[in-house]
């Protein structure tokens, strides 16, 4: 079953055509990678899916919900979470608080005026958040301020935050950008483990190692157009992809 279906999306910035009639579908429970050279329109495409940008034409369907025109927080509330290229966390707060916030957002909705209840008495939220921190191996750092974490740990924290909401679809924008090889491998392992829970993932990635370790299906975007789509092995050998992505060099 298709969990996400993008049909006929166009997006222009002034004279620049960033996305040209993009059709794209993600099967439920799979890991789908979007690759492409710099400036191919990958981030624009992601932003159109998540509500940060409004596509000029076309529709984005999540199950039977149309995401076009919805605000980012509404899209999150129907079950789509996003990991950013640079980890976006609450740097002034502790790790535990960082994970409690999305947990409460999932339970209490877009806005709730709980001004008189004590947060430290809310065992449900606390336990869930602790459990998520354990999952990503950050439980012993729960009272630390998250701003002082390493890049790799920030990424793990951000993943824990997204996972605490039990999303149906997880969008990852270059999850290993700027990471050391060791951190990259840790992140791959973590993402593989999450894969076992059946969360559908869309990954935008530069690093071929990450793409080929994780993705079941790869879509190649170049100059705003999808030029190829298929299994990783097929994509690797596709001459059009090599031409667009690597300027003809051999992969």
Residues that bind another protein (CB under 8 A): 50, 71-74, 76-77, 81-82, 84, 88-94, 96-97, 100-102, 104-106, 108-122, 125, 143, 161, 165
Q: From edge to edge, which strands make up the β-sheet containing 225-230?
A: 80-83, 169-173, 200-204, 31-35, 217-222, 225-230
Least Å from the CB of residue 188 to another protein = 23
Contact 57, 8 (CB under 8 A): yes
CA 107 – CA 58 distance, rounded (Å) = 32
Q: Where are the alpha helices (DSSP H) in 21-150?
A: 42-50, 72-77, 95-108, 123-135
CA 87 – CA 111 distance, rounded (Å) = 24
Which residue lies nearer to another protein by CB, 99 or 215? 99
Which residue lies nearer to another protein by CB, 154 or 217? 154
CA 203 – CA 30 distance, rounded (Å) = 11
Which residue lies nearer to another protein by CB, 161 or 210? 161
Least Å from the CB of residue 75 to another protein = 8
CA 153 – CA 233 distance, rounded (Å) = 31
CA 95 – CA 226 distance, rounded (Å) = 39
Which residue lies nearer to another protein by CB, 143 or 196? 143
Least Å from the CB of residue 184 to another protein = 23
CA 61 – CA 5 distance, rounded (Å) = 5
Which residue lies nearer to another protein by CB, 47 or 219? 47
Which residue lies nearer to another protein by CB, 121 or 250? 121
Query: Going by DSSP bridges, is the β-strand pair 31-35/217-222 parallel, antiparallel, or unpaired?
Result: parallel
Least Å from the CB of residue 125 to another protein = 8
Least Å from the CB of residue 3 to another protein = 18
Least Å from the CB of residue 220 to another protein = 26
209 bridge partner residues: none
């Amino acid at each position: 079953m298709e969990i996400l279906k993008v049909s006929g999306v166009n997006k222009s910035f002034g004279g620049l055509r960033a996305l040209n009639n993009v059709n794209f579908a993600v099967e439920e429970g799979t890991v789908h990678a979007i690759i492409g050279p710099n400036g191919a329109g990958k981030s624009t495409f992601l932003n159109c899916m998540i509500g940060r940008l409004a596509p000029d034409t076309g529709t984005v369907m999540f199950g039977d919900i149309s995401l076009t025109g919805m605000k980012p927080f509404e899209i999150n509330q129907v079950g789509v979470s996003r990991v950013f290229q640079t980890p976006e966390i609450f740097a002034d707060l502790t790790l535990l608080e960082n994970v409690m916030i999305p947990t409460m957002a999932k339970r209490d909705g877009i806005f709730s005026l709980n001004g008189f209840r004590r947060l430290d008495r809310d065992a449900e939220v606390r336990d869930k958040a602790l459990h998520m921190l354990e999952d990503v191996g950050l439980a012993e750092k729960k009272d630390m301020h998250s701003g002082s974490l390493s890049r790799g740990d920030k990424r793990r924290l951000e993943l824990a935050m997204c996972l605490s909401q039990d999303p149906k679809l997880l969008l990852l924008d270059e999850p290993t950008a700027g990471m050391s090889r060791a951190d990259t491998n840790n992140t791959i392992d973590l993402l593989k483990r999450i894969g076992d829970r059946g969360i559908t993932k869309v990954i935008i990635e530069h690093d071929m190692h990450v793409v080929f370790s994780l993705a079941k299906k790869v879509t190649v975007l170049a100059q705003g157009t999808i030029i190829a789509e298929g299994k990783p092995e097929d994509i690797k050998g596709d001459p059009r992809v090599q031409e667009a992505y690597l300027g003809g060099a051999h992969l």
